[in-house]
Chains A and B, each alone.
Chain A
Amino acid sequence: MLIPAETAIHRFRRDMTFGRLVKGLFVAAAVAAFVLPLAGIRLDPLMVLPVIACVFLALSVGSIRGSRLTADSPSLIAAGRFEEAEQRIDQALRSFSLFRHVKVVSLHHLALLRHAQRNWNESAVLCRALLGQKLGSMQGIGKPARLMLADALLEMGDVRGAGDAIAALYQQRLSLAEVLKLVAVQIDHQARLGAWPEIFAGVTAKVQLAELMPAAAAARTQALLALAAKKTGREDWSDWLRRRAELLADFQKLAADRPVLWELWERKVEG
């Protein structure tokens, strides 16, 4: 089972509009309960308001089901149980929810799933749809979505788009996990532009951050830093970083993913 990105986005937008409409109706009904008696219509607010509250409560309880469905998706994705995650996300996207965050989080998780499946195009489309929404109190989700979008665009070769996606993040306060992701994406982006001195600037801090990344990201980041060191004439750094990268990942896989890195292992391959 595969949820097409366009279908998910269409469903997401429709449900967001419907949710807004339902909430608007509740507000209108509550206001009307006070205003209509003043206009001479016999209506007891004491009778109407509890009914409105009960209906709201019932719909809220139903909406919590969607929240529960989305809660497990990230751990399922991390464990590589993609089909199960997809089922949960599909159910959450289909279920009715009064709360906007259920829909926003579900779409974000779908983008995350596609990213984990290396389906860069769909991941980027979903992230763009998410970022195109007014997120309001859910602004926090915009940061990982931007980072994911930039990463997906880099994988697709859209260097300019990736730069635009991360530009907005430089002014924002990020969590450590987001900083780590941003550093990895930024170095990858600058490497595509051939901005080697910029990559090597502040190398000590960048290396400290790379040490906190998962093995694959740490290896790629340090390999790109090693190449930047080589290009800027710091052979000592280049050699040290290259050897560290080799201990964290298979260098042939690293260079296959980022062909520019072959320059680090030319001699080894020739040998």
Chain B
Amino acid sequence: MQSSAFQSAATPADAAPAPFLDVPTLLESSQPRARLGWFWYAGGGFLAVVLGAALLGNSSEIGRRLVELLSAVLMLGLIVGMSVLTVVTVRNHRGEQQEVEAAAELVQLRRWPQAAALLEQILSRPSRTGALRSGALMYLGAVLARYHRFDDAIAVYDHLLEHDLVDPASAHGLRLGRAMAMLREDHLFDADRAIAELRRTTSDAGIDSAGLALVEMYRDVKTGHPAEAAAIFEEKLPALREALGHRVGDAYALAARAYDLMSRPGEAQDSYTKATLLSPLMELHRRYPEVEKLYGRYQAAPAPPEAA
């Protein structure tokens, strides 16, 4: 009874809820489990079976027949066992893969709470493979950025990049996300360095990155260089439209802010209208707080009542 009272008194402190999407914990818990060294166990077992069979087989005729029978049964059991093991492993792997794909779809559909809950569940246990873990971590970075936890998002992106856990194309996307998160968190020096690195890698590969153009526009708007932001926008608009699809609305929003800073209200209004045609106002404000300053000063594009 006393013990029970002690336990209940101790409960609130001990059972403090784990923080939601705690990055260090999830990075640790999702590490794939170390493989057991089955080779030496299997080798030892095989040697024991061979020695036992040799001893039994040499002792008598009955022993020899028994060894033959047991060997056949053992071989059959091994084949069946391996097949069952393969089927179970493939099924489990496919299940985890489907979970990661579901998380990706939730992120794409902007169902952030559901995506966050699913990613927490996936990353709270050891992953089956490094590739599945990397995929889940990439989506975790996107969810954290959405919740404005930019330092946590940067930690996830750094982990993936520093340990070389993703392919070059995904690494480029992660570097863009990391640079954007740095800008949002006012780590301007780090962001500038990250952008310079991105520029170097894209130039080496001969790629014209629309994502990089968007990050540079944001950097220029944020640091009070609107003319540079507007120049990038005017030069890269076709590429931005092609690569970003509806997210070209982000570029229009940043251009509107740049034109506004340059006291060019006509162009600012035009870009603001186009930005709000493509993206909801709330979404633009959430992504770029600087764009919020335009609210009320410029007219948003009218939308049908059901779509507004």
Contact = CB atoms under 8 A, between A and B. Distances in A.
Are A and B part of the same complex?
Answer: yes
Contacts of B278: 244, 247-248
Given A213-B245, A248-B245, A175 B101 contact: yes
A204 B105 CA distance: 19
Contact of B245 (A75, A215, A240): A215
A247 B302 CA distance: 15
Nearest to A211: B246
Nearest to A208: B109
A46 B245 contact: no
A176 B109 contact: yes
A82 to B, nearest CB: 18
A204 B303 CA distance: 12
Interface in B82-132: 101, 105, 108-109
A216 to B, nearest CB: 8
B245 A214 contact: yes
Majority secondary structure of chain B interface residues (helix, strand, loop or mixed): helix
A243 B302 CA distance: 11
Interface string A126-137: 000000000000
A75 B105 contact: no
Contact of B304 (A44, A237, A248): A237
Contacts of A211: 245-246
Contacts of B34: none
A25 B301 CA distance: 69
B133 interface: no
B307 A240 contact: yes
B104 to A, nearest CB: 8
A244 B71 CA distance: 72
B304 A240 contact: yes
B244 interface: yes
Contact of A204 (B245, B248, B306): B306
B302 A240 contact: yes
Contact of A49 (B75, B248, B277): B75
B168 to A, nearest CB: 10
B246 A240 contact: no
A94 interface: no
Given A215-B242, A240-B302, A244-B278, A176 B108 contact: yes
A243 B274 CA distance: 9
Nearest to B279: A211
B229 to A, nearest CB: 19
A22 interface: no
Interface string A42-68: 001110010000000000000000000
B47 to A, nearest CB: 16
Contact of B108 (A30, A212, A247): A212
A175 B105 contact: yes
Contacts of B304: 234, 236-237, 240
B136 to A, nearest CB: 17
Interface string A228-271: 00000010110010011001110000000000000000000000
Q: Which of A44, A213, A234, A240 has the most CB of B within 10 A?
A: A240
Interface in A189-220: 203-204, 207, 211-215, 218
A204 B307 contact: yes
A164 B75 CA distance: 50
A99 interface: no
A244 B242 contact: no
B241 A248 contact: yes
Contact of B72 (A45, A212, A240): A45
Interface string B65-84: 00010011001100100000
A44 B245 CA distance: 66
Nearest to A46: B71
Contacts of B108: 176, 212
Interface in B14-51: none
B169 interface: yes
Given A75-B169, A176-B108, A215-B245, A45 B75 contact: yes
A243 B75 contact: no
Nearest to A180: B108
B116 to A, nearest CB: 18
Interface of A: 30, 34, 44-46, 49, 75, 175-176, 203-204, 207, 211-215, 218, 234, 236-237, 240, 243-244, 247-249
